[in-house]
Amino acid sequence: MPKKGYKSITLKNETYDYFFNEWLKVKEEYTIKKGIRSFSAYITHRLAQLMNDE
| CB-based burial label for 46 (10 Å; 0-12, 13-18, 19+) | middle
Task: Answer whether residue 47 is part of any domain.
Answer: yes
**pLDDT at residue 46 in the model:** 94
**pLDDT at residue 38 in the model:** 95
Confidence (pTM): 0.81
Task: Answer whether residue 40 is part of any domain.
Answer: yes
Task: Answer whether residue 7 is part of any domain.
Answer: no
Query: Distance between CA 12 and CA 19 in Å, rounded?
Result: 11
The residue range of the domain holding 33 is: 13-53
pLDDT of 22-47, one tens digit each? 999 999 999 999 999 999 999 999 99
Task: Answer whether residue 35 is part of any domain.
Answer: yes
Total domain count, the chain: 1
Task: Answer whether residue 17 is part of any domain.
Answer: yes
Task: Answer whether residue 3 is part of any domain.
Answer: no
Question: Exposed e or buried b for every residue in 8-33, given b needs 16+ CB within 10 A?
Answer: eeeeeeeeeeeeeeebeeeeeebeee
**pLDDT at residue 25 in the model:** 97
Instruction: Find all residues with CB under 8 Å of 20, minimum gap 6, and list them.
Output: 39
